[in-house]
Amino acid sequence: MGFRQLVRVIRREGGIVDDTGVYKSGDAEELEIKASIQPLNLQEYTFFAAEGGRNASYIKMYSDTPLRPVKEAYGEYDEQTADIVQWQGRQFEVIQCDAWQNRVINHYKIIAKEIMRSDE
């Protein structure tokens, strides 16, 4: 797996609303995984841009480590949130993680969308 590089991932647990109604964000841990990072191909980009992200940047990653996408994260105040990939000084939220466990080269294909200031 010579194309893989070290990538930092932030995994944050969901926050809670305390007895006074104030939201407190959850704890975060930083993971370091090995992954191959590439741009989306035209077909992939067309699919995700059609979902309302035309002006966003996307990456795809191949890794032995599964990451937690948006669809597996719980609601706003629940137990966890989607993983955040830090790459080239930018942050990308994991939106999809597919298991490719075919007994040849087992891996996960991960799609992530750049977090824009307006998304925060």
pLDDT reported for residue 87: 93
Q: Give the model confidence (pLDDT) of 12-71 as tens digits.
A: 877 777 888 887 777 889 999 999 999 999 999 888 877 666 678 899 999 999 999 987
What are the two backbone dihedrals, phi and then psi, of residue 100, each rounded to the nearest 5 degrees? -115, 85
Query: Percent of the chain having pLDDT more than 70?
Result: 84
Q: Are 11 and 66 in contact (CB under 8 A)?
A: no
* Full-model pTM: 0.78
pLDDT reported for residue 118: 61
Residues 88-119 as b or e (16 or more Cβ within 10 Å = b): eeebbbbbbbeeeeeeeeebbebbbbbbeeee
